[in-house]
Amino acid sequence: MKRPTLQALGLAADSSERQAAASVRSLRILLLLCALLPLAIFAAFAAYRYAQMHDEAEVRLDRALRIAHEHALKVLEINATMLGHVADLAEEGGDSPQRRAQLHHQLQALAAGKPQIQSIWVLDAEGRPVTSSFVAEPPPDLQFGDRAYFRWHREGSRRDGLFFSDVLVGRATRSPFFDVSRARRGRNGEFRGVVNVSLRPDYFARFYADLAANEQGLAITMFRRDGAVYARWPQPPAKAVAPAGAVMARIQAGERSGLVRGVSSLDGSTRLAQFQQVGDYPVFLGSSLALESVLRAWLREMALLAAFATLPVLGVLIAGLAAMKRARQAEEAARQLREESQARVQIEEALRQAQKMEAVGRLTGGVAHDFNNALMVISANLHMLKLTQPGVGTRQTEAIARAVDSATKLTRQLLAFSRRQALLPQVLRLQDRLPQMKDLLAPVLGRPVELEIDVDAATAPVKVDQAELELALLNLAVNAKDAMPSGGRFRLSAHNATLGVDARPGVLIAASDTGSGIAPEVLARVFEPFFTTKPVGEGTGLGLSQVYGFCQRSGGEARIRSAPGEGATVEMLLPAIDGPADVDAGDDDAGQAALNLRVLLVEDNVEVSAAIRPVLETFGCQVTHFATAAPAIAWLDAHAGEFDAVLTDVVMPGELDGVALARHVREKHPQLRLVVMTGYAAQLEEITRQGYTVLPKPWTAANLARTLRG
């Protein structure tokens, strides 16, 4: 029976997934309608009920205001009529004590049975009491000439209207009241005094309390045209209506009645308020309802309605969710099959890419290592040629030396790419090294990208591997070029800075571009190995990870700043070094120095060992050579006293390598000088950590002599 192919399985999974997805979409729409339709009906009804309750509140306000207005108008008209009658009585019968006593009894009779009246007073032209309904005869020796109402009547010789005072406090009773007064005039219009009725604010407040007893949030206020409050239920914290409020603004504009909505200046709550002038008097009545009470009543009603409507809607939703769950399970099964096929393709592609990079790294490292051995042979024989034939082809030997130096740098870069190089930290002056890299970076960036290099003259030296530094800057240049396909500017700068939380002296190398920038969600991952936003085959994701690793291994740190559309800046913070830069010594110095050492040489490459031996002999050394570690160890244990130094390679055939040999020498023969040669080594970190002296390949005769000399 023929088995289905991966492609056929993928097509079947896609078809099943589409069908399941269609079912899920249909159920989702149905559930959405089941939820939204009741919500829409509920919202429409809620809006209708809120508007209806708002209208009902206006009706209740209007009813309360009409009742309060009718009551206040009746009281004020009675008082106005009474004031006129009292003024007529005061002018009858002269000013004898008998007449005053009679007038006192008449005022008491007028005030009897009228709870709104506190007292009735008749004052003479000087503001002294003639008589009163409140106190017995003779009246007390008081002076009311300083009252505002008295001054208003006296100073206005033609003023015959009513005056409504502020809320006052009785000098004898200490209870609040407000006066409604009118002037006494003689036959010739001369001012003869004032008659006034003192009204009780609490009388009106009690009436308003009874009126608002069944209306939660209702407030009724009596106030003067200028905002002074006479009476209110409930009692206000403020004594006047704010002149900048909505009600007072409309009253000052000449309106006698109206409906407003706003924040009350008396209690600070948001209210719906109605106001109306009481007849032609300078007195207004206002009824207001706290909108919060309307809202609470509406919420209670809506909560009750929602409680009844929720259960059937929930039943429909639960049934729909159960059906959707089954549809999603079918969709998930189809998706898993599709994802498994996609994951297999991605894994295979990633494996091929990793194998390709590993193969390239191995090939590059192997070629560079073999090339290192060839360079050592050339360098050693060049040294021998200079010693044995000092006058032959000086120009040619110098050209060979320069070529060897250039090829050495190339192999170090190749080994850096393959992560197999032995680090060779050097003290470098960036003022010298970075400008020299212009010829290396310019071809990488291309003509559309402008290259700038700026190094502060005071920049301190740094101790880093030169090849690693060059590779890091090359990686940054490649990234910058990819970010600026249409051209731009790549700027390389260096200056002194501080490093770490302890603010150690450091050097900051910054590489900036004017490219497209990096999104915030990508910025946090750019230093991760193999992370790249480039298409498959166009990026390995190792460039910035090499920069990060270089900074970490050099004792520093790497960081990046970027934003979309604003380019990117990569900063390498490296420790500063207090000292001069390293300078390579020439072969002449090495050739003049005699070592006179007995050296055990362990090197498996025949040509390399054949090149090393005569160089050592030119330094006066006696050389014993072995190709592998095991026989070298056996010979050394038997003839340890015959050697001063051991010079060994790391990678060699056999069960024991150069590291094992070095460990044996350290343990059994610690008096011997030990030098480990390596071009690359997987155990390089272990070698360095154990404190062995490392001589990087390819070396020059001068380096060999200095290292053996220690």
Binning pLDDT at 50, 70 and 90, where does residue 586 land?
Answer: very low
Conformational region of residue 509, where left means phi above 0, alpha means psi within -120 to 50, and beta covers everything else: beta
pLDDT of residue 590: 44
Binning pLDDT at 50, 70 and 90, where does residue 41 land?
Answer: confident
Report field, pTM of the whole predicted structure over 0.95: no
Task: For residue 435, say if its preceding peptide bond is cis, omega within 30 degrees of 0.
Answer: no
Residue 12 has pLDDT above 60, yes or no: no
SS3 213: coil
Least reliable range by pLDDT among 43-57, 380-394, 547-561: 380-394
What is the β-pairing status of strands 462-465 and 270-277? unpaired
Residue 418 has pLDDT above 70, yes or no: no
- Could you tell me the fold of the domain covering 430-575? Heat Shock Protein 90 (3.30.565)
**Tens digits of per-residue pLDDT, 440-484?**
888 888 888 899 999 999 999 999 888 788 888 988 888 888 888
Residue 232 has pLDDT above 60, yes or no: yes
Residue 401 has pLDDT above 80, yes or no: no
Residue 36 has pLDDT above 60, yes or no: yes
**Tens digits of per-residue pLDDT, 322-339?**
766 776 776 677 677 777
Cα–Cα distance, 273 to 289 (Å, whole number) = 6
Question: What residue ranges do the domains of the chain occupy?
Answer: 430-575, 587-709
Mean pLDDT of the region 134-157: 81
Angle at 285 (CA atoms; ends 284, 287), nearest 5 degrees: 150
Cα–Cα distance, 627 to 246 (Å, whole number) = 107
- Could you tell me the fold of the domain covering 587-709? Rossmann fold (3.40.50)
Question: Any idea what DSSP says for residue 669?
Answer: -
Cα–Cα distance, 432 to 455 (Å, whole number) = 9
Q: What are phi and psi of 142, to 5 degrees?
A: -110, 165
Contact (Cβ atoms closer than 8 angstroms) between residue 274 and residue 283 = no
**583 vs 55, which has greater pLDDT?**
55
Contact (Cβ atoms closer than 8 angstroms) between residue 706 and residue 673 = no
pLDDT of residue 164: 92
Residue 70 has pLDDT above 90, yes or no: yes
Question: Any idea what DSSP says for residue 640?
Answer: G
Least reliable range by pLDDT among 333-337, 462-466, 569-573, 628-632: 333-337
Binning pLDDT at 50, 70 and 90, where does residue 72 land?
Answer: very high
Residue 493 has pLDDT above 80, yes or no: yes
Q: What percentage of the chain reaches a pLDDT higher than 70?
A: 79
Least reliable range by pLDDT among 44-58, 489-503, 575-589: 575-589
**Tens digits of per-residue pLDDT, 502-536?**
888 999 999 999 988 888 887 777 777 666 666 55
**Tens digits of per-residue pLDDT, 657-679?**
888 899 999 999 999 999 988 87
pLDDT of residue 154: 87
pLDDT of residue 587: 47
